[in-house]
Structure 1
Amino acid sequence: MLADRGWPFDPSRRREDLGFFGPGSPTWKVWTSPTALLGFQRAVTLEHFDPFLTAAVADARGIYLDPRGRLDGTLSYFLIVAVGDSRSAIETSDLLMRVHAKATGIEPISGKRYSANSPESQLWIHVTGWHSVLKCYETFGPGPLTREEEDRYWADCAVAAELQTCRSSDVPRSRDQVREYFESVRSRLCVSEPALEGMHYLLRTRGGRGRWPLWAMSRAMAPATVSTLPAWMRRLGDVDQPAAVDRIVAPLTRVAVRAAATPRVELAVIKRLLPMTHAVLDQHFNGAPPVLAETVTPARARELAATPA
């Protein structure tokens, strides 16, 4: 998604600051957990319930032509915003907006025009991403956040949304508001042949030259990912599985997550499969301390990004 368009993240450049959230934040804890991979697969799968996003993905065909590159670029963007320094986050966000500006067309179900940069589509992508990563952290990782951490996490989510076209007033800021958001959009969610194709492809990516690692990992994660989806989504998306599979996969996934819970192992798992994501996490875990040990706001980050590094 971003690598072939001049991905601006430079892992050799020393971080200028602690980004938007900093050490000790639940955002750093949740987004750097191995469970983020499961959360990301969950997010990109259920995003296809939005017909406008489905149309954009289907017309671009990027996930089918270069599935690893597209998935790696998208996940690395979320990670840069979550744990990278502010300059990297702003520059990567600006690039993403320029790429999305070209993704427009007609959504065939409604006959209405879609735009990947529309506030509604951006909000759907943003909320499903942050919700799914937290959901898998709670289900397969260390468990639920404390009440204070959860409040902080959703406040961080709203901050991160400032880098996209989302309207600030629309961004949910609590678990209850997230539930209300999903309930408010449910009436416009649906599936189509392109949506089903995208969901099933992202859950179980087809093999081929250079794709066998992604083929294997997607299939290994799919049962756990599906187990976290609501029953109505599983039925509508034709991805349902027996309850016995849900019960079996949960403890097995928790064991796998614990085995990969050190930075060394987590980095080794994704090094070849997701090189851009690996670069972001490697800098986070092993990079030199930032020049300034402080966090900044997105508004201040834009001011800083306007000056040479």
Structure 2
Amino acid sequence: MDEPTRDADPGLFGPGSVTWQMHGDPMMWVAGVRALYLQALHPRAVRGVTQNSDFREDAWGRLMRTAGFVGTLTYGTTEAAETYGARVRGIHRLLKATDPATGESYGVDEPGLLLWVHCAEVDSYLQVQRRSGFPLTDAQADRYVDEQRVSARLVGLDPSHVPATTAALAAHLRRVRPELAAGPEARDVDDFLRSPPVHALLTPARALLWRRVAALAYDSLPPYAHELYGRAAPPPEAVDRRLRTTGATLRRIPARLRWCLPPGHIVKAMKRLGPDSRPAPYKLRRQAAILDAPGRAQQ
């Protein structure tokens, strides 16, 4: 590996953050699909996607762009993250959606819509990771929610108006719940995620891998989401077992194999900052142990 650059830029979060360690975990892919399912339940928010994109024709491209955005914000330089954020904000400012029932036209960058998308994403990341066995204390989970206010700023939100704790995040999701519904657009997203179009040669892989990922992501949704989508919620204990099994299986894949896939944000960050910047769950356990050490509370 290349020698790290002296005084290299750690980016917006840096190796000492919860975000840095958690976003390198392979279960983030399941969490990302869960976020799509949850986000689609807000009719105004999901119209912004379905009316302004070719997600059915370029679904994989869209997923990779989303992964690229998260990867750049987490592991890229400060300049790269800020530039990416400015580009996203610029695109959102130009986009409108229309309510088919009322004819109302509105911007997709309404703060309430951006906040819903942000909170559904952060909640999904936390829920899937913690339920699948990724080591996070309650304090670290709060710290993660607080750190993600940086990401919220980059998409155009005022960080002071974004939840900074897991309790505040849960409270916001409860407040938004009356606005949620599984309208036609949410049904389209549901249908797509259950069986996305792929090249004929990839059909076996879709059946073997993707549908399992999508099913697990869907099953991990909260009970009200299952009710809105109209399918019975599976027992949470059974879902947790599957999440833990899947997490344990994916985490056994050598990190160097997972991280070599494009666009390679983690590998680039390690080249910039050195091998000690490698994200790993044990670092969070070590942080928690240090904080819990006798006498620490008195310092």
Q: Match for residue 307 of structure 1?
A: none
* Amino acid in structure 2 at the alignment position of 1:81: L
* Amino acid in structure 1 at the alignment position of 2:181: C
| Larger mean Cα displacement after TM superposition, 103-112 or 151-160 | 103-112
Q: Match for residue 288 of structure 1?
A: 272
Deviation string for 1:169-224 (max 9, x for gaps)?
Answer: 32001111011100111111112112111123124323335864567543121222
* Distance across 1 between alignment mates of 2:8 and 2:96: 35
Aligned partner of 2:186 among 183, 195, 210: 195
Whether 1:102 and 2:64 are equivalent positions in the alignment is: no
Offset at 1:232?
1.7
Checking the alignment, whether the CA contact within 8 Å between 2:89 and 2:154 is kept in structure 1 is no
* Distance across 1 between alignment mates of 2:164 and 2:230: 31
* Amino acid in structure 1 at the alignment position of 2:267: D
Offset at 1:246?
2.9
Aligned partner of 2:221 among 206, 214, 229: 229
Q: Match for residue 169 of structure 2?
A: 178
Unaligned runs of at least 5 residues, structure 1: 1-13, 294-309
Q: Match for residue 47 of structure 1?
A: 39
Aligned partner of 1:114 among 106, 110, 120: 106
* Distance across 1 between alignment mates of 2:94 and 2:232: 35
Aligned-residue CA RMSD in angstroms?
2.6
Judging changes above 3 Å, is the alpha-carbon distance between structure 1 residues 56 and 210 closer, same or farther for their aligned structure 2 residues?
farther
Give SS of 1:128's match. helix
Deviation string for 1:131-177 (max 9, x for gaps)?
Answer: 2112111011424x123322321220112211122233320011110
* Amino acid in structure 2 at the alignment position of 1:287: K
Alignment of 1:2-151 (within 5 A): 17-143=9-135, 145-151=136-142
* Distance across 2 between alignment mates of 1:163 and 1:16: 22
Whether 1:155 and 2:146 are equivalent positions in the alignment is: yes
> Which of the pair has more CA radius of gyration?
2
* Distance across 2 between alignment mates of 1:237 and 1:191: 6
Q: Match for residue 246 of structure 2?
A: 253
What TM-score, normalized by structure 1, do the two folds share? 0.78
* Distance across 1 between alignment mates of 2:240 and 2:273: 42
| Larger mean Cα displacement after TM superposition, 208-217 or 197-206 | 208-217
Give SS of 2:97's match. strand
* Distance across 2 between alignment mates of 1:197 and 1:240: 19
* Distance across 1 between alignment mates of 2:202 and 2:88: 24
Unaligned runs of at least 5 residues, structure 2: 278-299
Checking the alignment, whether the CA contact within 8 Å between 1:49 and 1:191 is kept in structure 2 is yes
* Distance across 2 between alignment mates of 1:94 and 1:202: 29
Checking the alignment, whether the CA contact within 8 Å between 2:72 and 2:265 is kept in structure 1 is yes
How many residue pairs get aligned? The number is 268
* Amino acid in structure 2 at the alignment position of 1:249: R
